[in-house]
Amino acid sequence: MTKCEMKSKDLGREELLNWGRELLTPVDIKEKDGKLYVRSLSGKERAAYLSDLKKAQDALEKDGNFEPLMHSVVTMIILAACDSKGNALFTEADRDAIDCWPADVQDKVANAAVKKNGIDADAVEDGEKN
């Protein structure tokens, strides 16, 4: 084996089932002098988010209603925000409290999560096809 070749290892069940826990992105919350983390979504979570986002975009196009779009922002925060060990910080029961966060903080956390999960216009379009 040459210096540039990497030796791969066999992956175990636990390692595969807990995949992504170590892949966290910190988000500084200066307003609270601290940070939280965002994690990669599972395929199921990503599909649910993209479905929620598509409904929001349709509502915006149909009648200019931004409320479903803000709902999807909070959905992303609930799905992706976690502690330093990858444990979820929020549940659906926290939605009303997160709705009361300053908009710039919501945007900061949600945008970090969207970037972390590679969600862009192409992902939404792909979600529509599935």
- The enclosing domain of 90 has a CATH number of 3.30.2220.20
What is the total count of domains within the chain?
Answer: 1
- Asked if residue 3 belongs to a domain, the reply is no
pLDDT of residue 35: 97
Name the residue range of residue 53's domain.
Answer: 13-129
Share of the chain above pLDDT 70, in %: 84
pLDDT of residue 20: 61
Q: Are 122 and 50 in contact (CB under 8 A)?
A: no
Residue 28, beta-bridge partner list: 35
Beta sheet of 34-38, edge-to-edge order: 25-29, 34-38, 81-82
Instruction: Kindly give the pairing relationship between strand 34-38 and strand 81-82.
Output: antiparallel
Q: Which of 127, 111, 125 is nearest to 27 (CA)?
A: 111
What pTM did the predictor assign?
0.77
Report residue 12 as tokens. Answer: 């175990």
- Asked if residue 4 belongs to a domain, the reply is no
